[in-house]
Structure 1
Amino acid sequence: MTHELTIRVYYEDTDMAGIVYYANYLRYIERARSEWVRELGIDQRAMKDQDGLVFVVRRIEADYLASAKLDDLLVVETETVQLTGVRWILEQRVKRDEDVLFHAIVTVVVMTETGHPSRMPATVRQMVH
């Protein structure tokens, strides 16, 4: 299953050259992951308040392939590559039409509010599959 989120490039997203500032791609993929998790029915606020658990990005491997520009309409595609008891690996692509501009492999883990690693809750694993 692939989740898609459409994002418009605004002036505030660009640098002096008029292209999307590199760090904003990380914001775009974060927003897409958050929306997908919400659509799956995972309530991150309840997970934190009731269980003391939060999602944390552990690792990102990213490739910047082409530039997005002001007013471009982008689509962020997100899909699960692997889900285990301790990590969730996702592939994310930022596309303009059919062109992939940015590609990332993101590893997400669960931690307690005090920063200790935790197993992925079974309810989360069920909602993702």
Structure 2
Amino acid sequence: MSERKLTPAVTSFTAEGSHVLRARVYYEDTDAGGVVYHANYLRFAERGRTEYLRDLGISQSELSETDGVVFVVRRSEIDFRLPARLDDALEISTRIAEIKGASFEVEQEIGKAGADGYLVRVVSTIACLDGRGRPVRVPNVVREKLGRQTMAGTNQEPLKADVQESGE
């Protein structure tokens, strides 16, 4: 039996403003050869985005109930470099690249814990919709929290337009 280091699933923010979720590759994530099935990287990315928002204090279920808005994936671009395998400890790094009116761009890298580089890179557009499925502006409280975290680790100040939109 191999001596794989088993790292627990935890989350953290980096000094650069990225969020990191640790995850494990389970049998259900793989094909018969023990390699992660390609579509399951989207599941890992979803978990990374969800935990990122949760760690910022943004509850998607609460947003749906109180504000009547939901986030949906509008577009994803995936770059597969190397496969993950059964029992691999992964790190899913998530950062907000851009906040727009009714959407935001998310960049994610999925790599082996403790290794340089990434296995898979996912760039997604997340749209904000109302209960009828129509685009609506990202709520100010979400915009403020995402913007604050996006600016972490930089010497930049939020744009005046961003501050005015968030009500500060």
Query: TM-score, normalization: structure 2?
Result: 0.75
1:98 Cα deviation after fit: 1.4
Distance 2:134 2:100 in 1: 17
**What is the percent sequence identity of the aligned residues?**
42
Name the structure, 1 or 2, with higher relative contact order (CA <8 Å, separation 6+). Answer: 1
1:84 Cα deviation after fit: 1.6
1:99 Cα deviation after fit: 3.3
Distance 2:103 2:65 in 1: 21
Distance 1:10 1:98 in 2: 22
| Uncovered stretches (5+) of structure 2, i.e. residues with no partner | 1-16, 148-168
Aligned length: 129
Query: SS state of the match for residue 18, structure 1?
Result: coil
The question of 1:107 aligning with 2:125 is answered yes
| RMSD (Å), alpha carbons | 0.8
1:109 Cα deviation after fit: 0.9
The question of 1:23 aligning with 2:39 is answered yes
Partner of 1:39: 55
Partner of 1:123: 141
Equivalent residue runs for 1:1-129 within 5 Å: 1-96=17-112, 97-129=115-147
1:50 Cα deviation after fit: 1.1
Distance 1:24 1:12 in 2: 9
| Uncovered stretches (5+) of structure 1, i.e. residues with no partner | none
Distance 2:60 2:125 in 1: 17
Query: TM-score, normalization: structure 1?
Result: 0.96
Distance 2:34 2:64 in 1: 39
Paired letter, 1:106: S
Paired letter, 1:32: G
1:114 Cα deviation after fit: 1.5
Partner of 2:5: none
Divergent runs of 4+, >6 A: none
Distance 1:114 1:17 in 2: 43
